[in-house]
Amino acid sequence: MATFNLKINGETKKVDVDGSTPMLWVLRDHLQMVGTKYGCGIAQCGACTVHLNDNAVRSCQLPVSAVGEQEITTIEGLSENGDHPVQQAWLEVDVPQCGYCQAGQIMTASALLKKNPTPTDDEIATAMNGNICRCGTYTRIRKAVKMAADNS
Amino acid sequence: MSIVKTKVGRRAFIRNTSLASGGLVIGFSWLNSCKPKEAAKIVAMEMPKEWFQINGFLKIGDNGVVTIMSPNPEIGQNVKTAMPMIVAEELDTAWKNVLVEQAPLNTDIFTRQLAGGSQSIRQGWEGLRMAGATARTMLKQAAADAWQVAINEIQTSEGVVSHTASGKSATYGELASAAAKLEVPEEVSLKETSDFTIIGTDKKNVDGHQIVTGQSLFGLDIQKEGMLIAMVTQPPAFGMKFKAIDSSKAESMPGIKAIFPITVYPEGIKKQWSDGGAVPEMVAIVGESTWQCMQAKKALDITWEQAEKAEDTAYHNRELDNLLNTKPASPARADGNVEAAFKNAAKIVESTYSAPFLAHNTMEPMNFYAHVTPEKAELLGPIQTPEYLELTLAEVLEMPLEKIDIMMTRMGGGFGRRLYGSFGVEAAMISKKMNAPIKLVYTREDDMAQGTYRPSYKIRYKAGLDEEGNLIAWHVRGAGTNDDLVFENRFPAGAVDNYLAEKLSLSTNVTTGAWRAPRSNFIAGAEQAFIDEVAEAAGKDPIAFRLELFDRAISKPVGDTEKNDYDPERYAGVLKLVKEKSNWQIGDNRGVAAYYCHNSYVAQVLDVTMNGDTPKVGTVHCAVDCGIVINPLSAKNQIEGGIIDGIGHATFSELTFKEGEPQQHNFDRYRLMRNTEAPEKIETYFVDNGIAPTGLGEPSLPPVQGALANALYKATGRRYYQQPFITDKPPLVG
Ligand code: FES
Ligand code: FES
C-alpha cells in the first residue's frame, strides 16, 4: 500500500492503494467514479478510456504508480454540465443503445478532436477503432463525432 | 375510439394503488441511495411538492409533472423511453412533463417484466395504453364531479382538462389529488391511432444525459455502505466439476476476506428455465476491491475433476455432419412428395451451411448486488428475467417471495445472456454465507468462458426446379447443438407443392441458450443465401423469384394454411419496398434477403466491396414492417444495431472448444466487429400500416447475414457457406 495524490478532473484526490492497481479500479472502487467502465481489462475494448494529459489512454493498463503529476480527465470531468460538444452531439444523434461503451467512445472522440479538430471520415473511424460497441452504434458514433467537429 | 375493459385475465391490470395500499407502491427505500445524486440537476423542471399515485404505472405531481414507471428491464432496446411514451400518449400529457423511472419487480402490478423475444412493446402495448387511458378517465371524472357536468362533455389535451360549454379548465396537477381517490373505471376508451401525438415521433433516450456524463446506472456501478466485492471461479471446461482447493496463498493476499467453495444450487432444488447455464458448485473469492479479488483469483490452486465427456469443436462438427446424414423418425412438416418431385426435377440445387457457437459478450460482464439477511433478501442488478430469478431465490434461500426484493438496473447489453440469471443466485448465496452485502463481478474471461452460448448449427437444403425454373420441391434438414433449429412452418412452407422439413438435435454438455433472435440468427442467413442460389439456377432475378413464391403463398397456399407462420402479403410488402428504395438491379455487388421473425418483416439490400480478404459493406437498405413504430429515432437505432451485429458475427466471430474448454476468453482472440468494419450507411424504411406494434430488437439481424453472403458472391464469385466468413485472428489494437 502506498499513498498517491492524483490530479483528476482538476481536483487532487488522495488514495491509499497498491501501486500496481490500474487507474480503472482506483477510479471505480476507491474514488466511486464509475463512469469509466470495465470491459476487458486487456487493452482491447476501450471502455475504460480516460485522458492522461489530453491523450486517450486505457485506464485498465495504467498503474496508479505511473500517473505521477499527470492530469487525468474522466467522463465525469469532461465538462461541467454534460455540454462538451462531443456529449451534445451524442445526445443530438441519440447514439447510445445500452450505453455501456459510450463513456469510452466519448473520451476517445474528444481526445481525437483536441488533436485534430477537422478529421476526415476515415480518420474518425480509424480513431474509434479501439472502442468496441457490442450494440453496434458505430454509424451513429461516426455521425456524432462529425457533428461535434462541425460544432466546435 | 375503442372501448376496452380495464381487467384482463387473472390480474386486475390497473389497480388504484392509493386505495389498495394507501401509499406509494413504487421504490424501496433501500434503493433510493443508488439513484444518481445529480438526477435532480438534469431535470429541467420543477419538482412537485406532493405526488398522487393514480395507478401502478404513474403518479402525478401537484404541478402537473408526471412520473411514469417503465416496467420492463432495459437492455439497450430502449423500452425505458418507448413504454412510458405509450402511457403518456393515452394519458394525454406533454412529453416534456414526463419523468421516467425503472419499476422494480412487482408481479402484483405489472405483467411480463421480462426482456426477451422482442416482445416488451408487443405484449405491453394494451396494458400500457390502458394505464394511461385509465388515468386520463379518472382525471376527467374528477373534473366532471367538481364542475357538475357530464364526463363525456369533457376534453383533455397536453395535461389540461377542459369543458367548452362552461369555459372551465384545470390542469392534471390540480385534479390529481381528487382523481387519485376515485374508483378505477370498469372500461375506458383508447385514442384513435390517427390522434397520436407522442407515439410515432422522435424522442431522445430518457437516460441519455446520464449515459454521456458517466453517472451510476449499471449493475457494475453499484456501491453501497459496507459492500464487499465477490468473484467466482467456475470449472474451466464443460464436463468438469470442482474437487478441491488450496487457497492458503490467495487468502493471505491484501484485501481478501474469504475464499470458499460454495454450492449455489443444492441438489434437488427446483430450477427455472432461467437457471439454464447454472453451475452447481464453484469457488467464491470475497474481498475489499475488484482488483484485489482479481489478483487472488489468479493465485488460487483448484483441482477440478472430469465428470462428463470433454468435447471439442471437431467432435461437434463431426456429430452434426452425422446428423445431417440421418433421417429422423418423423418429419416436422411434409407437404406433397419431395422424393417424387426431385426425380422429375429439371434442376436440383443442394447446399450445406454452418455456423459456430457464439458468446453473448455484453459489454458489461455479468454481475449482481445482493444483501441477504435472515429477514430478507435485497437484490439489484442487470437481469432480463427478474420474475424467474425470484422464484429460484425463494427455493435456494428457503425464503417466501414477499421477503425477496429485486430491482433491475440499466443493463450494459443483454442479447439473451441475462435471461439466464444464475449469477444473481450466486450473488445471493455468497451474501448469505458472508452475512454481508456483496457485489458479484465476473471478469471478462469468466463471462466469455461461462456462457449460455448460441448453439452451433449445420443445415442442408435441397431444391428442385422444373423446366420453367419454378420451384417444385424443397427439402430442409437442420441440426444444432441442444437445438433442433428448423422452423418448419415458416417460408417457403406454403409456397412449394412438395415440402419436407426435418430437424435434429445433438445433445452436448456445453450450455446453450437464447442469443439475439434464437435460431433465426442462423437459419435466416442460410435460407436466404440458398434461395439466391436457387434463383440463379432458375435464371431469375432474386427479388422476382422470391415475389413469385409469395404470390403462390397468397393465391394458392400449400398445405394447412392455418399452420403457415407468416403473412405473405406483408412479407412481399417489405421486399417491394426495399426494391424500390434501393433502386434494385442485379449486379452492383449487391445482395438481397428477407425474413420474418418476432412477428415482424424485414427485407434488406446491401452492397459490398472486398478489401483484400475483408469485406466492407457500403449502404444497407432496410425495409421493416413492425406495425406502429413508437419512437422512430430509437427504432432505427435498433435496426442499425441488429444489422451491424448480424454482419459482424457472420463475418468475424466464433467460439471454439478444446477438451471442453472455450478457446477464446477475451477480445484478443474473440473478434467482434469494429468501427472501420461497420457498414458505411444504413437506411431504414418503415411500413406505415397502423397495425399494433410487433418485435423490433431482433428482426433486422437474421436476414442481413443472407444479404451479406449474397453480395459477397457477387463481389468474389464464390458462395459463403461457413460462418464466420473471415476467420483471421483479430488485429491487436491499443
Ligand atoms: S477495459 Fe480497458 S480496454 Fe477494455
Ligand atoms: S451502446 Fe451498448 S455497447 Fe455500445
Categorize the per-residue pLDDT at B210 as very low, low, confident or very high, splitting at 50, 70 and 90: very high
Spell out the domain ranges in chain A: 2-78, 85-151
Residue with cell 454540465: A81
CB-nearest to B76 from A75, A99, A140 is: A99
Check CB contact of A125 with chain B, cutoff 8 Å: yes
Give me ligand 1 centre to Cα B640, in Å.
24
**Interface with A, mutate which of B211, B227, B418, B665 (most A CBs under 10 A):** B211
Continuous H helices in B302-449: 313-324, 338-344, 386-396, 422-434, 444-449
Of ligand 2's atoms, which has the minimum distance to the CA of residue A105?
4
Categorize the per-residue pLDDT at B44 as very low, low, confident or very high, splitting at 50, 70 and 90: low
Higher pLDDT residue, B18 or B86? B86
Mean pLDDT value across residues B273-283: 93
B44: its cell numbers: 429541467
Give me ligand 2 centre to Cα B219, in Å.
15
How far is it, in rounded angstroms, from Cα B409 to Cα B216?
Answer: 10
- On average, the pLDDT of chain B sits at 91
How close does chain A come to B32, measured CA to CA in Å? 17
Mean pLDDT value across residues B509-534: 97
Is residue B352 predicted with pLDDT exceeding 70?
yes
Looking at 3.90.1300.10, 3.30.365.10, 3.40.50.510, 3.40.47.10, the CATH number of the domain B329-358+453-727 comes to 3.30.365.10
Is residue B37 predicted with pLDDT exceeding 80?
no
Is residue B732 predicted with pLDDT exceeding 90?
no
Give me ligand 2 centre to Cα B212, in Å.
12
How much is the pLDDT for B107? Answer: 81
Residue among B183, B666, B205 nearest B449 (CA): B666
CB-nearest to A96 from B205, B645, B679 is: B205
**Beta-carbon count within 10 A of B637 CB:** 28
Burial pattern A52-61, b for ≥16 Cβ within 10 A else e, equals beeebbbbbe
Q: Worst-scoring range by mean pLDDT, A83-87, B70-74, B529-533? A: B70-74
Categorize the per-residue pLDDT at B106 as very low, low, confident or very high, splitting at 50, 70 and 90: confident
Coil, strand, or helix at residue B710? Answer: helix
Mean pLDDT value across residues B638-658: 97
Would the CB atoms of A94 and B217 count as touching at under 8 Å?
no
Give me ligand 2 centre to Cα A61, in Å.
21
| B474-510 tens-digit pLDDT | 999 999 999 999 999 999 999 999 999 999 999 999 9
Categorize the per-residue pLDDT at B641 as very low, low, confident or very high, splitting at 50, 70 and 90: very high
Residues 5-64 of A with CB under 8 A from B: 17-18, 21-22, 25, 28-30, 32-47, 58, 61
How much is the pLDDT for B104? Answer: 85
Residue whose CA lies nearest to ligand 2 atom number 4: A133
**CATH architecture, range A2-78:** Roll (3.10)
How close does chain B come to A13, measured CA to CA in Å? 18
Listing DSSP states for A103-143 in one string gives HHHHHHHHHHHHH-SS--HHHHHHHGGGS--TT--HHHHHH
Give me ligand 1 centre to Cα A37, in Å.
8
Q: Which residues pair with B479 in a beta bridge?
A: B458, B504
Mean pLDDT value across residues A16-32: 97
Is residue B22 predicted with pLDDT exceeding 60?
no
Is residue B214 predicted with pLDDT exceeding 70?
yes
How much is the pLDDT for B76? Answer: 85
B412: its cell numbers: 450494459
Categorize the per-residue pLDDT at B4 as very low, low, confident or very high, splitting at 50, 70 and 90: low
CA distances for B683 relative to A21, B643, B686, B706, angstroms: 45, 11, 10, 18
Would the CB atoms of A97 and B76 count as touching at under 8 Å?
yes
Is residue B677 predicted with pLDDT exceeding 70?
yes
**Interface with A, mutate which of B212, B366, B637 (most A CBs under 10 A):** B212
Does residue B499 contact residue B334 with C-beta atoms inside 8 Å? yes
Give percent above pLDDT 90 in chain A. 99
Chain B partners within 8 Å of A23 (Cβ): none
Would the CB atoms of A45 and B667 count as touching at under 8 Å?
yes
| B531-563 tens-digit pLDDT | 999 999 999 999 999 999 999 999 999 998 889
| B409-466 tens-digit pLDDT | 999 999 999 999 999 999 999 999 999 999 999 999 999 999 999 999 999 999 999 9
Mean pLDDT value across residues B221-227: 96
How far is it, in rounded angstroms, from Cα B664 to Cα A73?
Answer: 33
Residue among B180, B202, B176 nearest B95 (CA): B202
Q: Assign domain A85-151 to its CATH superfamily.
A: [2Fe-2S]-binding domain (1.10.150.120)
Would the CB atoms of A139 and B205 count as touching at under 8 Å?
no
Mean pLDDT value across residues B79-102: 92
Listing DSSP states for A3-47 in one string gives EEEEEETTEEEEEEE-TTSBHHHIIIIIS--TTS--S-SSSSS-T
Categorize the per-residue pLDDT at B42 as very low, low, confident or very high, splitting at 50, 70 and 90: very low
How close does chain B come to A69, measured CA to CA in Å? 23
How much is the pLDDT for A49? Answer: 98
Chain B partners within 8 Å of A44 (Cβ): 666-668, 733-734
Q: Which ligand is nearest to the CA of B410?
A: 2
pTM assigned to the model: 0.94
How much is the pLDDT for B30? Answer: 31
Would the CB atoms of A99 and B217 count as touching at under 8 Å?
yes
How much is the pLDDT for B1? Answer: 59
Helix axes A102-115, A85-93, angle to 10 degrees: 130
Categorize the per-residue pLDDT at B152 as very low, low, confident or very high, splitting at 50, 70 and 90: very high
Fold of B219-308+366-441: Aldehyde Oxidoreductase; domain 4 (3.30.365)
How much is the pLDDT for B24? Answer: 28
Coil, strand, or helix at residue B426? Answer: helix
Fold of B2-195: Aldehyde Oxidoreductase; domain 4 (3.30.365)
Using only the alpha carbons of chain A, give its radius of gyration.
15
CA distances for B441 relative to A47, B160, B232, B544, angstroms: 16, 48, 8, 52
Does residue B72 contact residue B114 with C-beta atoms inside 8 Å? yes
B307: its cell numbers: 465428470
B357 DSSP 8-state letter: B
B655 DSSP 8-state letter: B
Across the A/B interface, how many CB contacts are shorter than 8 Å? 201
Is residue B15 predicted with pLDDT exceeding 80?
no
Categorize the per-residue pLDDT at B34 as very low, low, confident or very high, splitting at 50, 70 and 90: very low
Q: Worst-scoring range by mean pLDDT, B5-19, B260-274, B371-385, B577-591? A: B5-19
Categorize the per-residue pLDDT at B6 as very low, low, confident or very high, splitting at 50, 70 and 90: low
Residue among B563, B577, B727 nearest B652 (CA): B727
Check CB contact of A94 with chain B, cutoff 8 Å: yes
Q: Is the dihedral of CA B379, B382, B387, B388 positive or negative?
A: negative
| B163-187 tens-digit pLDDT | 999 999 999 999 999 999 999 998 8
Is residue B105 predicted with pLDDT exceeding 80?
yes
Q: Which ligand is nearest to the CA of A132?
A: 2
Mean pLDDT value across residues B133-150: 96
Spell out the domain ranges in chain B: 2-195, 219-308+366-441, 329-358+453-727
How far is it, in rounded angstroms, from Cα B150 to Cα A60?
Answer: 66
| A26-81 tens-digit pLDDT | 999 999 999 999 999 999 999 999 999 999 999 999 999 999 999 999 999 999 99
Give me ligand 2 centre to Cα B695, in Å.
20
Same fold, A2-78 and A85-151: no
**Interface with B, mutate which of A94, A102, A120, A122 (most B CBs under 10 A):** A94
